[in-house]
Structure 1
Amino acid sequence: MIRLADIWPIADVETYKLHFARWNQESQPLEVWARDRREWQGWQEYRPARNEFNRPFIFALIQFYHETDSWLFGGVYRVVDRLPERYVIELTDQGQGFRGRLKIGSTYRQRATRVNFENHYDDLEVQEIFREPYSGRAFPGFEDIDLSFEELEALVRNDRADWKAALASVKGIYLLTDTTTGKRYVGSAYGDEGIWSRWSSYISSGHGGNAELRALATDPSLEYCRRSFRFALLEYRSNRTPDEVIIGRENFWKRILLTRGEHGLNRN
């Protein structure tokens, strides 16, 4: 085992608070990190009723939620001021080369997310160091695609090459599920539009031009979409597949999954 202390000796750990950033009932911090660094910084600026960031520095870890007991290093921040409604912070150069690249193991599961660093520093294990800062998980293969809206958003915003190359090369039929209502929508990508292009249109608008989804995606910030929408690929076919075959398979899935009418989000 290689511990964090073995590669990064920190003498004054008592001056740090350790932030175990986890799902906040709305967003996964790993996807927040991947899509928008400024939004991620806001997770350090948030001040609860108690003054929990009561030390000079914040050592931020991001829950790597695809794997058990894994965390991604998200930077060291200095607390500049403690206003009643928020913290004023600035990103330091400490561990700059590790930011978004260093994956750390910790079995911490207690409720508190902002804890004293010295109580955990010696137990943090180095699991992996990525070649480049994390920008989304690797493409898992066509048969294992199950994405939240915010994970897809991070992949699209980062123009993740492996996902783009794979999904742009195929036509197909997909399932969009609204996890808040339980209703589902079956859609397809054909013509010159691969799955990547079709799904990217949802990230820009929230609804992809679909009437029933348009009624749900009314918030310009797309918060409802991030909270509720999930994408899965039902079928994929070569780009040489005739469009009428794709449309036929789309109608098949609409019928099988009952996505027309009161049980779903398809109008036709």
Structure 2
Amino acid sequence: MPLTLRPLLVDAGVDPSQALVIRHAFAQESEESGLTGLHADSTHAEILDYTRNQSTDVRRFPAVPPPLWVVFIREGGDQARLWSVVENRGEIARNGILRTFDLIETEHLSDLRNRLVIGWRSPRTWRMNATTAAEYPVVGISDAEPIPFPGFDRLVLSHTQLQAVMREHRYASWRTALSSVAGIYLITDTSDGRQYVGKADGADSIRQRWSAYATNGHGGNVELRNLQPSNFRFSLLRVFDRASPTRDINAAESHFKTALDSIRHGLNRN
């Protein structure tokens, strides 16, 4: 019996009865739709923005869409490749043509993003209940392609991206690089702009410290415990060789707390 989408959804914690499956295609939308369409070079953010804007016509999109949307990108006429699974937190705007939804990416099927390909039996259908799509066959699951490490001074990660870096095979070189250094890092709460300056020194590498944030969101820091990790953005301020004296790392941490005023106007307590 061929593998279908259903067991993958169930194993990932997605109830097909509570999910919608969407297949985007690279195409220019009509001017009347109010959408800009997608193309092969559309960024991740552009695809998310395209997904959150849907027609007010209930014949085109459900009046009350379910909480989870499993989003694919068309591949050929009869296949679709998984892009991501997003949580629908409700409609936040409407202009007569489009309804805008508050969508956030989830970790459901995150290890299969851009890897899972399913057959698509209805070429003209771009969205359907997941109970229907659950019976579609899995065509293939490709190996995850390694992603080159961008360098310490170019590293900026959302919490979702951080979790992927700490878990997925394609980020193995990133974990190796982050294991090799200690240093000073910055966490920005993008909901209000407040910042937290942290450090990894002694036995801890940046990878070890950030693994804790990927696991529980707060890394054991009281200042972050009651905040929403999905709003966090992680970056590096300065890296040190792991053999560097602790006093040098402490001095750098103090400098950045002062320079960024993260005690008086940020998230550091001291």
TM-score range, shorter chain: 0.5 to 0.7
How far residue 243 of structure 1 moved from its aligned partner, in angstroms, is 0.9
How far residue 93 of structure 1 moved from its aligned partner, in angstroms, is 3.8
Amino acid at match of 1:267: R
How far residue 168 of structure 1 moved from its aligned partner, in angstroms, is 0.7
Residue number in structure 2 paired with 1:75: 117
- Cα distance change of structure 1 residues 18 and 134 upon mapping to structure 2, 3 Å threshold: same
Residue number in structure 2 paired with 1:264: 266
Residue number in structure 2 paired with 1:60: 81
Q: Equivalent of 1:172, from 166, 170, 183?
A: 183
Tell me the SS of whatever aligns to 2:150. coil
Tell whether the 8 Å contact from 2:116 to 2:138 is kept in structure 1 after alignment.
no
Residue number in structure 1 paired with 2:234: 231
Q: Report matched runs for 1:86-105 at 5 Å.
A: 87-90=132-135, 92-94=137-139, 96=140, 99-100=141-142
- Cα distance change of structure 1 residues 73 and 163 upon mapping to structure 2, 3 Å threshold: closer
Moved over 3 A (4+): 24-27, 71-74, 77-80, 82-88
How far residue 78 of structure 1 moved from its aligned partner, in angstroms, is 5.3
Quick one: distance in 1 between partners of 2:237 and 2:160? 20
Q: Report matched runs for 1:1-268 at 5 Å.
A: 18-20=23-25, 22-23=47-48, 43-44=70-71, 59-60=80-81, 62=83, 72=114, 74-77=116-119, 87-90=132-135, 92-94=137-139, 96=140, 99-100=141-142, 132-134=143-145, 137-158=147-168, 160-216=171-227, 224-226=228-230, 228-261=231-264, 263-268=265-270
Quick one: distance in 1 between partners of 2:253 and 2:136? 48
Percent identity reads: 35
The gaps in structure 1 that reach 5 residues or longer are 1-16, 28-40, 46-55, 64-70, 101-131, 217-223
Tell whether the 8 Å contact from 1:18 to 1:58 is kept in structure 2 after alignment.
no
Quick one: distance in 1 between partners of 2:71 and 2:132? 7
- Cα distance change of structure 1 residues 79 and 251 upon mapping to structure 2, 3 Å threshold: farther
Report how many aligned residue pairs link the two structures.
178
Quick one: distance in 2 between partners of 1:266 and 1:178? 12
Amino acid at match of 2:70: W
Tell whether the 8 Å contact from 1:175 to 1:184 is kept in structure 2 after alignment.
yes
- Cα distance change of structure 1 residues 267 and 138 upon mapping to structure 2, 3 Å threshold: same
How far residue 180 of structure 1 moved from its aligned partner, in angstroms, is 0.6
Tell whether the 8 Å contact from 2:80 to 2:120 is kept in structure 1 after alignment.
no
Quick one: distance in 1 between partners of 2:192 and 2:214? 20
- Cα distance change of structure 1 residues 183 and 86 upon mapping to structure 2, 3 Å threshold: farther
Tell whether the 8 Å contact from 1:78 to 1:89 is kept in structure 2 after alignment.
no
CA deviations on 1:172-217 (whole Å, 9 max, x unpaired) are: 000000001110000000011100000000011100011110011x
Quick one: distance in 2 between partners of 1:259 and 1:240? 27
The gaps in structure 2 that reach 5 residues or longer are 1-21, 26-43, 53-67, 85-112
TM superposition score normalised by structure 2: 0.56
Tell me the SS of whatever aligns to 2:196. strand
Amino acid at match of 1:151: Q
Amino acid at match of 2:240: R
Amino acid at match of 2:237: L
- Cα distance change of structure 1 residues 83 and 240 upon mapping to structure 2, 3 Å threshold: closer
How far residue 72 of structure 1 moved from its aligned partner, in angstroms, is 4.3
Over the aligned positions, Cα root-mean-square deviation in angstroms equals: 3.5
Tell me the SS of whatever aligns to 2:257. helix
How far residue 90 of structure 1 moved from its aligned partner, in angstroms, is 3.9
- Cα distance change of structure 1 residues 248 and 145 upon mapping to structure 2, 3 Å threshold: same
